[in-house]
Structure 1
Amino acid sequence: MSKILAVHASPRGERSHSRRLAEVFLSALQARNPQWHLTRREVGRAFIPPVSEAFVAAAFYPEPEARPLSMQADLALSDELVGELLGHDVLVISTPMHNFSVPSGLKAWIDQIVRLGLTFNHSLDNGVAQYEPLVQGKKALIITSRGGFGFGPDGELASMNHADTLLRTVLGFIGITDVTVVAAEGEESEARSFAVSAAEAEQRLLALVRSF
């Protein structure tokens, strides 16, 4: 039985296009695989704390197995989020593009799950930092909505896309390299144009169900 972790990053509820598209995919996936287990993690409408000085001190404590209780408390949510990620086979992230990047809640989630000794390791080679990903055997789907057109690969605004490109970089850094991106573009354009883009995204998501 496969396990799916759905991370929802939009601060909007029913009006969120990324959430709606994610539900198209998740509903079809569960209909095809009713035995699969789905876990939802809300980061857009629930507070995920940003990294603090206490978090950094605890995360990089030289003897992790001997962390004081206060430091263990500082990492409690991070430990939960990392365990959640590691305990699932498929990661589905639904997010809008906010000002060319991801919403703050999703960035906070990223900072909580990129953890030394848990999702990546660090060593020195002749004084130069070397990084080793620790997450294996997982695949990810990023479902995103964008206000304008042309933010995809080879698009005229591709250089301004720091949203799903950031997610690809972070996921690859910890070891998740099998990543698919499905985007609906043009929410801020006329309604018909966005409706066409969203419909195309829906069809692509439904087609992807067979490969997950």
Structure 2
Amino acid sequence: MKTLLQIKTSLNGDNGQSSYLSNEFVTRWKAQNPDGKVIVRDLAANPVPHLDGERFNAFLSSADKRSASEQKIIDYSDQLIEEIKAADAVAIGLPMYNFGIPSTLKAYFDHIARSGVTFRYTENGPEGLLPNIPVYILAARGGIYQGIQADSQTGYMKTFLAFLGLQDTRFIYAEGLAMGEDGKTNALNTAVNEIESTVAA
């Protein structure tokens, strides 16, 4: 039985365009995998705490010297990491906020980037420790940014995920969503068609 991890990040919940696209992806994935399981991680409804000194120090602590509160932080991080390890694929709904990724997604990333757990440094450089499953990124933008310097998301997402071992990143963009209703409709329809062909491949 295959498992898909769906990560939602829109502040507007299921009313957000990125959530719409990720939900469309899930619908088509389930049609292709009727016995499959979908794990939903909604970072707007249930945000991951932002990184602070206590959490950062807990990640650096050795298992035999952790306090009870530090162990609770580690257990929470481990749960997030185990969701990824249990998945055969990941679908991330990604809106663009102020030219970047949502802060809730950055907080999530800060909890799954753990030295010795999801990556390690070797004499040849960093090595990702997560299995290289495909990560589908459904990017929704009000303007048009793909391929220009203002697109800070694509390079960051590729770099971060590859650092953990997730090198198979596949982007589907819906852009110009705030540039008129016709453009919005066309962009969403084009993205959904791309989702359908991607999942069916």
Query: Within 2, Cα distance between the matches of 1:131 and 1:32?
Result: 35
Q: How far has the Cα of 1:39 moved from its partner?
A: 0.5
TM (norm. structure 1) is 0.89
Q: Read off the aligned partner of 2:165 and give its amino acid letter.
A: G
Q: How far has the Cα of 1:65 moved from its partner?
A: 4.9
- 1:12–1:45 Cα contact (<8 Å) kept: no
TM (norm. structure 2) is 0.94
Deviations 1:108-129 (A, max 9, x none): 1111111111110124x4xxx9
Q: How far has the Cα of 1:66 moved from its partner?
A: 4.6
Aligned to 1:81: 80
Aligned to 2:172: 182
Q: After the TM superposition, which residues 93-172 of structure 1 pair with which residues of structure 2 at under 5 Å, given as runs?
A: 93-123=92-122, 125=123, 130-149=125-144, 151-153=145-147, 158-172=148-162
Q: How many residues align?
A: 201
Label 1:209 to 1:65 Cα distance change in 2 as closer, same or farther (>3 A): farther
Query: Within 2, Cα distance between the matches of 1:173 and 1:131?
Result: 7
Aligned to 1:40: 40
Query: Within 2, Cα distance between the matches of 1:164 and 1:98?
Result: 13
Please, which runs of 5 or more residues in structure 2 have no aligned partner? none
Query: Within 2, Cα distance between the matches of 1:72 and 1:201?
Result: 42
Q: After the TM superposition, which residues 14-93 of structure 1 pair with which residues of structure 2 at under 5 Å, given as runs?
A: 14-61=14-61, 63-93=62-92
- 1:44–1:106 Cα contact (<8 Å) kept: no
- 2:172–2:194 Cα contact (<8 Å) kept: yes
Q: 2:193 aligns with which of 184, 197, 203?
A: 203
Deviations 1:38-96 (A, max 9, x none): 100011232210111111111112x3355333321122221111111111110110020
Q: Read off the aligned partner of 2:135 and give its amino acid letter.
A: A
Query: Within 2, Cα distance between the matches of 1:71 and 1:20?
Result: 37
State the percentage of identical aligned residues: 26
Query: Within 2, Cα distance between the matches of 1:144 and 1:65?
Result: 42
Aligned to 1:7: 7
- 2:100–2:153 Cα contact (<8 Å) kept: yes
